[in-house]
Structure 1
Amino acid sequence: MSPPSHLIIVCGHAIWLGGPSKGHDESEWIIEAYKKGETPTFIAHIKAGVDLLTQDDSSVLVFSGAPTSPLTQLSEASSYHSLALSNFSPPLPTSRVLLEERALDSYHNILFSLVLFWKTYGAWPARLTIVSHAFKRTRLVEGHCKAIGFPLDRVGYVGINPPSVEEKTGSMEGNQLALGQWEEDPHGVGEDLASKRRARNHWGVGQGLFDDDGERERAGVDTWRTEDGGESLVEGGRRPWANI
């Protein structure tokens, strides 16, 4: 049987703690104040990812997101997976669902998921579909995917916005500010973006891409170690996923 070729990434935005409402009561979630009222959108993101997975036998679904709250070591990815298992039927084909539990921002949702796919299947995906907010499409596709070097003509995007997103001016302004920062620092290695990751990394989750030099060489990816112990792509270096 040939390996899968389509990577679907559902980007995490909060942590579902479990509960009888299966995520429909916001009190079951750990969310930031500005995301109040958005939990139905997170459920819609999860459902969209599950639907894509069940429609394409060549696909793999990755729930992506680290443990980002000091209140629990539960990751965003694991909580999304649990919610999917609780809410949607028929049952998920679990052999085609992966958990990426280290990403602390949207750039790493994509890059860590891409590397996890390779570590699992020994091949790079030919196609990529990202599920997140519609208003983040420019940042994730034209910003992050371009910086990572994944061909944009092989990238799909499913964008689902929170209700009345136009009224959430703080969230929208914050997203535009981050877009500007990523334009200046496309791999997020500068202090402004790195400090945001550190502030979310309450549990000291490792930020390296590969386990050792041998694995990195087998992957065929050029990287360098950042000052804070992370690992970044070398600008202009080898990107084997670009030539599938």
Structure 2
Amino acid sequence: MSLPNHLIIVCGHGIWKGGPKNGWDEAEWLIESYKQGETPTFIEHIKAGVRALSEDKRALLVFSGGSTRPETRLSEAQSYHNLAIANSYFGFLSSGDEAESRILAEERALDSYYNIVFSLIEFWRFTGHRTWPEHVTIVSHGFKRARLVDAHCCGAIGFPPDRVAFIGINPPGMEEVTNEGRGTGNMKADAMRGVQLAIGQWAKDPHGVGEELTGKRRARNCWKVDQGMFRDYEEQSLSGVDVQVLPDGTEALLDDGSRPWNKA
């Protein structure tokens, strides 16, 4: 069987605790108060990722998101995977389907930059350290396209723009966002302010190495999950990826360093 060449990333936004409604009751979720009413959208993200996997026999689906709540060690990523299983993969996969083996949970990412970086590394590990993806598809909120695709994936992380696709599904009350990331209608005022603030923060600090963005990650890392990119120096050397070590011991890509996925 051919190695995967297509990485599908579904970014986590909450934690499904489990329950008889299989995620369709918001009481089964751990979410911030401003995300109330959005859990059906999270399910649509999961569904879109599974659908994309079912359509490509060389795709690898990665649910990405760390353990961000003190109430449970369960990660966003594993809870998304659990929900997909509980809903029988929404009819896109059958039990025992070969594609089930091409679904991973990336359980360390604490922000959108690391959703992509850690997922790239998980893809590389899955292939036995042999190859990086030729194509990436990112699934998230439509209004986050500018940050995820332009600022992170094609900007700081350096994945070729012509090999990146984006599936944007917005929560209720949000208007669709154009490919340039500008709103086409009324949006929730607080969410829009947050979007603009985040874009500004990442524009000033593309790899999230400053105190403002590292501080946000520390606040989310209630279970003290390791934030190093690689398991050890040997694996990092094998990867060909240049990293910088931050004062708190976490790691980020080195600006202008080697990006082996450009050669995939």
TM surpasses 0.5: yes
2:61 pairs with 1:54: no
2:193 pairs with 1:173: yes
Match of 2:216 in 1: 196
Q: 1:6-155 residue pairs with structure 2 within 5 A?
A: 6-87=6-87, 88-89=90-91, 90-91=93-94, 93-121=99-127, 122=129, 123-145=131-153, 146-155=155-164
Match of 1:224, SS state, is strand
Displacement of 1:228: 1.1
Q: Give distance in 2, aligned partners of 1:169 and 1:40.
A: 21
2:257 is matched by which residue type in structure 1?
G
Match of 1:60, SS state, is strand
Q: Give distance in 2, aligned partners of 1:171 and 1:164.
A: 10
2:115 is matched by which residue type in structure 1?
N
TM-score of the superposed pair, with normalisation by structure 1: 0.98
Q: Give distance in 2, aligned partners of 1:161 and 1:139.
A: 14
Match of 1:157, SS state, is strand
Displacement of 1:167: 4.4
Q: Give distance in 2, aligned partners of 1:68 and 1:151.
A: 30
Unmatched 5+ stretches in structure 1? none
Q: Give distance in 1, aligned partners of 2:247 and 2:105.
A: 27
Q: Give distance in 2, aligned partners of 1:143 and 1:224.
A: 19
Deviations 1:65-108 (A, max 9, x none): 00100110000000000000111233362210011000000010
Of 218, 231, 234 in structure 1, the residue corresponding to residue 251 of structure 2 is 231
Match of 2:180 in 1: none
Match of 2:61, SS state, is strand
Matched pairs, number = 244
Q: Give distance in 1, aligned partners of 2:35 and 2:254.
A: 34
1:13 is matched by which residue type in structure 2?
H
Residue identity over aligned pairs, in percent, reads 60
1:26 is matched by which residue type in structure 2?
E
Deviations 1:215-238 (A, max 9, x none): 111101111211111111111111
Match of 1:61, SS state, is strand
1:79 is matched by which residue type in structure 2?
S
Q: Give distance in 2, aligned partners of 1:238 and 1:174.
A: 32
Q: Give distance in 1, aligned partners of 2:81 and 2:118.
A: 17
Match of 2:63, SS state, is strand
Q: CA RMSD in A?
A: 1.0
Q: Give distance in 1, aligned partners of 2:45 and 2:189.
A: 21
1:194 is matched by which residue type in structure 2?
T
Q: Give distance in 2, aligned partners of 1:167 and 1:225.
A: 38
Aligned structure 1 segments of 4 or more residues deviating by more than 3 angstroms? none
2:147 is matched by which residue type in structure 1?
R
Q: Give distance in 1, aligned partners of 2:216 and 2:112.
A: 12
Displacement of 1:2: 2.1
